[in-house]
């Protein structure tokens, strides 16, 4: 499945290709620039149907960042973001009505990794920054 973004003048801005496994789980995303050149690749891993991590790679194949998901029973309880050196750069600890963003604050280079941290926050009602 592909999604594309166009400018107001109908010029291609970028394209994202989603690849799913036989269970319907998203296992890979490929991001292309306006020239249809691969810009990034994300690989999704699952255990028992739950997303365990997402690794993003640059066009040259080098890792850019990684998000690791933690669960408390069946519920997502935390998201930890690591940079290309494997250093923790941000962590969300999720609760029933709030979450905690643990510094250092996340400065992420791609919409994919930013989305990994912000999708959950849309469902939650309060934010506490330490």
Report d(CA 4, CA 106) in Å as an integer: 26
Which of the residue ranges 65-69, 74-78, 110-114, 124-128 would you say has the lowest mean pLDDT? 124-128
Half-sphere exposure of 14 (CA within 13 A, CB side): 12
Report d(CA 125, CA 130) in Å as an integer: 17
Instruction: Render pLDDT for 83-97 as a digit per residue (tens, 0 to 9).
Output: 999 999 888 887 654
In 3D space, the residue among 94, 91, 89 whose CA is nearest the CA of residue 123 turns out to be 94
Query: Whole-model pTM?
Result: 0.69
């Amino acid at each position: 499945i592909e999604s594309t973004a166009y400018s107001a003048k109908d010029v291609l801005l970028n394209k994202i290709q989603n690849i799913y496994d036989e269970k319907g789980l998203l296992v890979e995303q490929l991001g292309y620039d306006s020239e249809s050149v691969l810009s990034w690749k994300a690989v999704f891993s699952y255990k028992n149907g739950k997303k365990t991590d997402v690794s993003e790679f640059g066009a040259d194949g080098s890792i850019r960042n990684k998000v690791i998901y933690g669960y408390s029973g069946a519920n997502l309880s935390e998201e930890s973001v690591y940079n290309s050196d494997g250093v923790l750069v941000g962590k969300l600890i999720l609760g029933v009505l709030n979450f905690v963003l643990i510094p250092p604050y996340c400065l992420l280079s791609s919409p994919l990794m930013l989305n990994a941290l912000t999708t959950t926050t849309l469902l939650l009602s309060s934010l506490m920054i330490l």
